[in-house]
Amino acid sequence: MLPFPIRNPHLLDHLVPFVVTTPRNREALDLRPFGVSLHPDGEIDPLRVASQGFLDLLHRLDGLTFGPEGMPMPRWVFYDCSELPGAIYGLARPAATLWPEATALFQVPAGYQGLVPLSMYIAIPMAHRGVWFGHNLASAAPALRVAGMRGVDLGGLGSLTKGLALRAFGVRHFWGATQWDSDALFIHCKFGPLRLATAWTPAHSEPATLTYGFDVTDTSLRASMGDTTVAIARPAADFWIRAGDTEAMIALQDRIEAGERFVIPGPPRREGDTQWTPIAVDADAAPLAPGLDPRRRGLGPGLGDPLTP
């Protein structure tokens, strides 16, 4: 139960939180974000063989969600780029009470007694304390709807997972990367206007990727989970980028590299299969958040206190 209204309060009746990280990293996390406790079986240590069953299912969740996007993660990416340096936070349901459609979709092995992860958020600490890079958001809710699961409303699962995870990780300044045609942009925009660090990104395997950031505050987190009592100021759009319009992305990237600043002020709009994303000129050319702006330092060195033995 959260201390403020959210879009779908029943989610936390159906699902329980888990975290995957090393015991040492766990000390630096808030394992009761907004007072929501982990399930007793919800602390998963990737250094232990006993975690394998759960991690197999987490890999399955990635395959079900990112497989169709063409970006499923090899197992070593999970280990090297999230479980060891950062953390994975998500919502799960005990196998014993899992809905039959989900048991079939996840191919839960007979006899498995643990939690089955239905959503996850992965982030990696950047070089300055409090600055994190969002690596992966996955929710099985859409796949379960397609698989025919009815009667259980999992709407809002992706948004709730990202909001709780950012609080659990202690993120102060967030960066992420996503594609201009991604459904997930509807979620990312719930946190408030997104500052653009790139609009065209050849360093990524999908150059039509944007790099976006925002400051993580109580207000941004509550808004992301659907608390309509908090208000976020959003500038009006100056122009729109059509997903697929690489010339417009490259032109915007040129302007960013020349020192202009832009935000995505609000959610995209869909016209048929085409996604349009609003862009507002940041007339003050405010510096980017720490981590990616050479003019702003972070809060200190990385995750945790390096001086603590």
Ligand X SMILES: CC(C)(COP(=O)(O)OP(=O)(O)OC[C@H]1O[C@@H](n2cnc3c(N)ncnc32)[C@H](O)[C@@H]1OP(=O)(O)O)[C@@H](O)C(=O)NCCC(=O)NCCS
Interacting residues toward ligand X by CB under 6 A: 7, 65-66, 69, 137-139, 141-142, 155-159, 178, 182-184, 186-187, 270
Pick between residue 189 and residue 279 the one whose CB is nearest to ligand X.
Answer: 189
Which one, 163 or 290, has the nearer CB to ligand X?
163
User: What minimum distance in Å lies between the beta carbon of 155 and ligand X?
Assistant: 5
Q: How far is the CB of 120 from ligand X (least distance, A)?
A: 9
The identity of residue 292, as a single letter, is L
DSSP string, 8-64: -TTHHHH-EEEEE--HHHHTTS-SSGGGPPPPTT-EE-TTSGGGHHHHHHHHHHHHH
Return the axis-axis angle of helices 157-169 and 218-225, rounded to nearest 10°: 160
Q: Toward ligand X, which CB reaches closer, 66 or 240?
A: 66
Q: What minimum distance in Å lies between the beta carbon of 279 and ligand X?
A: 18
Burial classification of residue 23, based on how many CB atoms lie within 10 Å of its CB (0-12 exposed, 13-18 middle, 19 or more buried): exposed
User: How distant, in Å, are the alpha carbons of 40, 108, 205, 259, 262 from that of 251?
Assistant: 51, 48, 19, 13, 13
Cβ closest to ligand X, residue 25 vs residue 65: 65
Cβ nearer to ligand X, comparing 42 with 226:
226
The distance of closest approach from Cβ of residue 307 to ligand X in the complex, given in angstroms and rounded to an integer, is: 35
- For 52, phi then psi, to 5°, come to -60, -45
Measured in residues, the chain has a length of: 309
Dihedral, CA of residue 120, residue 92, residue 168 and residue 12, to nearest 10: 120
Residue closest to ligand X, measured at CB: 158
155 or 170, CB closer to ligand X?
155
Query: Nearest approach, Cβ of 83 to ligand X (angstroms)?
Result: 18
> Cα angle at 131 between 8 and 212, to 5 degrees?
65
Please identify, using beta-carbon distances, which residue of 115 and 123 lies nearer to ligand X: 123
CA distance 179 to 136: 13
Kindly state the smallest distance separating residue 184's Cβ from ligand X, in Å.
3
In single-letter form, the type of residue at position 194 comes to: L
Containing 170, the helix (H) or strand (E) segment is none
CB of 40 to ligand X, least distance (A): 25
